[in-house]
A and B are shown apart, each in its own frame.
Chain A
Amino acid sequence: MEYLLASAIGALTAAGIYLTLRLRTFPVILGISMLTYAVNLFLFASGRIAINLPPVLLNNTPTYADPLPQALVLTAIVISFGMTAVVVLMALGAFLSSKNDHVNLSGDAADEQEVGK
């Protein structure tokens, strides 16, 4: 279980970083989404992984599943959802107004022509 979760976080992070380093906005946004999935899983795991345990400490149970990381993850999900929507809209606006979906700001004429083809 721990191995599975850790490798999932690792794979998502690696894919996210690779995609974030791409030139155009669409893969970069995908990469950011991957990274947010990775960080959400990571936050979830930061309260230790527990199965079939109540989220509150009861008198007759010796241990419990930490509820706080779940609240943190919920906040993080909501924020990253909103942020992704914002960045998609801005990237779309930038593409439509400049006919160029590169992330870098070279302003190079050859670069613009290549995209215009």
Chain B
Amino acid sequence: MNHWIIAPVLLPALVAAVIILALRYQVSTQRVFSVASTVALVGIGIGLLVHSMSGQIDVYELGNWPAPFGIVLVLDRLSAMMVLLTALLALAVVLYAIGSGWDKRGNHFHALFQFQLMGIFGAFLTGDAFNLFVFFEVLLIASYGLMIHGGGAPRLRAGVQYVIYNLLGSTLFLFALGTIYAVTGTLNMADLALRVADLPADDTAMIRVAAMLLLLVFAVKAALIPLHFWLPATYAEAPAPVAALFAVMTKIGAYAIIRIYTLVFGPDVMATADIIGPWLLPAAIVTLAIGMIGVLGASHLGRLAAFAAIGSMGTLLIAIALFTPQSITAALYYMIHSTLAGAALFLVVDMVRARRMAEDDTIASRPAIAQNGLIAAFFFATAIAMAGMPPLSGFLGKLLVLDAVRDHNLVWVIWAAILITSLVAVVGFARAGSMVFWKVEPDATEQTPSGTAAALPFVATGGLVAAIVAITVFAGPVTAFLSDTSAQVFDKQSYIAAVLETPRAIEAENLPLEGSKK
């Protein structure tokens, strides 16, 4: 067994505990631990990704319990890629939080941050549906604390809304898991895949209900219309580094949809094949439209970034809804791109806020902010990426999506939706950018906060923009890897074989429970 697989879960959990127990009042030491842990996670992420490139699926049996009975962590190309993406994002976010002083505005930022990372990595790595629920709760409960970090009435009220929405989502998740367990008698994803495929064709009502309930849960996470209402207020009110980290939270919903609806309820499973894609696709198109119209209509930069995140989830879910290897490849590329670009946009918005009076982020002309030119350049780059204009990765991502839907019978609707909403987004970003950065009030007498001229926030944001440029320049190798990833995602036999037939230290034969419940 490769013990590195559990490192992304264990390391942040341990570091968080050390920070909260031993370093409660020493913010500078907390920073050292947090950055060191995040750098180590990037290293581990790179190691796991390189390891997974061979195409081998690695299984980590917790407590050495064999697969359908114990909980397993599974490392394949998809989960390794998501772990590395999250680790890179986390590094930029933690540097920004330190540079901008956000981590000093309340207690326990770094501890909660590490717990949040633990939950996210766990959700990407687990191979058990109930364990997925538990890791969702870990990342959610950390995110509740991060969301209201720094306090203030508007943030607390938005936080209450966010918590209530997600508690309802968790309840729905439990209902779905209960139904799945009642029907199949297992919650291990590989075992589920076998049993769902074996269900008699005339007895699928319950599993169809469960599949839809589970889709609703992931749709809440992925902010799919009409379950997106928690996102705009949450992202706009959350502290900027937290909002940037949340850019990967919606992608967890997308990841879970890819994982569960290819492996367990795949397109080849007769019972559920006709309900998932046909529901997901129209909802995704409407999500895209609402998101981009929201970009055009936003009156505050925070809202603009939040609606841009919704719009990018729309494009991503359109590609996912087709469930073909080519469309998943496009979806994965767009997922990497929109995580980086969405996070960079939130950081740029926060740089503007920090340099204006009273953290005002209204899209209106105000006195020029400090470092106006550099921040405007960052905004310009991220806006180009988010809107999907050439030359950055948003353009390539949208091109891949457009290419992937070519054979679908709704191809004209999808093309029209993506192209028209791109235009709407371009107009929206251009309006916001010119109002905020160009149409500055000439009145120089009003004092604006000089802003922390610290280099670290610029390094963090610049790092994210550099990553966007990197996935654009290296789009060829990246898509080649993603196309292997997508092929592996659809090869469910090898996943099932890897999980259920991994050689064990203790031979699991002659178990009394054979063939019955888990």
A positions within 8 Å CB-CB of B: 20, 25, 28-29, 32, 35-36, 39, 42-43, 45-48, 57, 66, 68-69, 72, 75-76, 79-80, 82-83, 86-87, 90-91, 93-94, 97-98, 100, 103-105, 107
Contacts and interface: CB of A to CB of B under 8 A. Distances in A.
B161 A103 contact: yes
Contacts of A48: 182
Contacts of A25: 160, 164
Interface in B95-110: none
Shortest beta-carbon contacts, A-B, top 5: A98-B153, A94-B156, A46-B182, A46-B178, A97-B153
Interface string B82-95: 00000000000000
A91 B160 contact: yes
Contacts of B160: 25, 87, 90-91, 94, 103
Contacts of B168: 20, 32, 35
Contacts of B163: 83, 86-87, 90
Nearest to A71: B130
A117 to B, nearest CB: 19
A103 B164 contact: yes
B157 A32 contact: no
Interface of B: 130, 134, 137, 141, 144, 148, 151-154, 156-161, 163-164, 167-168, 170-171, 174-175, 177-179, 181-182, 233, 512-513, 516-518
A68 B144 CA distance: 29
A98 B130 CA distance: 38
Nearest to A20: B168
A35 B164 CA distance: 12
Given A28-B164, A39-B178, A42-B175, A86 B141 contact: yes
A29 B163 CA distance: 10
A37 B505 CA distance: 40
A22 to B, nearest CB: 11
Nearest to B182: A46
Contacts of B144: 86, 90
23 contacts: A29-B164, A42-B178, A43-B177, A43-B178, A45-B178, A47-B517, A48-B182, A68-B518, A69-B178, A75-B130, A79-B134, A80-B167, A80-B170, A83-B163, A83-B167, A86-B163, A87-B160, A91-B160, A94-B160, A98-B157, A100-B157, A103-B160, A105-B161
A47 B185 CA distance: 8
Q: Is the interface of B mostly helix, strand, loop or mixed?
A: helix
Interface residues of chain A: helix, strand, loop or mixed (majority): helix
Contacts of B182: 45-48
A47 B179 CA distance: 10
B210 to A, nearest CB: 10
A82 B153 contact: no
Nearest to B138: A79
Nearest to A83: B167
B168 to A, nearest CB: 7
B156 A46 contact: no
Nearest to B162: A90
- Most chain A beta-carbon neighbours within 10 Å: one of B130, B178, B512: B178
A32 B171 contact: yes
Contacts of A46: 178-179, 181-182
B108 to A, nearest CB: 13
Contact of B181 (A28, A72, A80, A83): A72
Contacts of A97: 151-153, 156
Nearest to B137: A79
B389 to A, nearest CB: 33
A76 B137 CA distance: 10
Contact of B137 (A43, A68, A83): A83
B156 A90 contact: yes
A72 B174 CA distance: 9
A92 B151 CA distance: 13
A65 B143 CA distance: 37
A47 B233 CA distance: 39
B174 A105 contact: no
Given A87-B167, A105-B158, 8 more contacts: A43-B178, A47-B182, A68-B518, A72-B178, A79-B134, A83-B141, A90-B148, A105-B157
A55 to B, nearest CB: 11
A39 B174 contact: yes
Nearest to B513: A57
A75 to B, nearest CB: 7
B171 A68 contact: no
Contacts of A86: 141, 144, 163
B174 A43 contact: yes
Contact of B130 (A42, A47, A72, A94): A72
A113 to B, nearest CB: 16
Contacts of B157: 94, 98, 100, 105
A45 B182 CA distance: 8
B515 to A, nearest CB: 11
A49 B181 CA distance: 14
A42 B177 CA distance: 10
A66 B181 CA distance: 11
Contacts of A42: 174-175, 178
Nearest to A72: B130
Given A20-B168, A32-B168, A93-B156, A75 B134 contact: yes
Nearest to B518: A68
A103 to B, nearest CB: 6
A4 B24 CA distance: 50
B448 to A, nearest CB: 25
Contact of A72 (B161, B177, B179, B516): B177
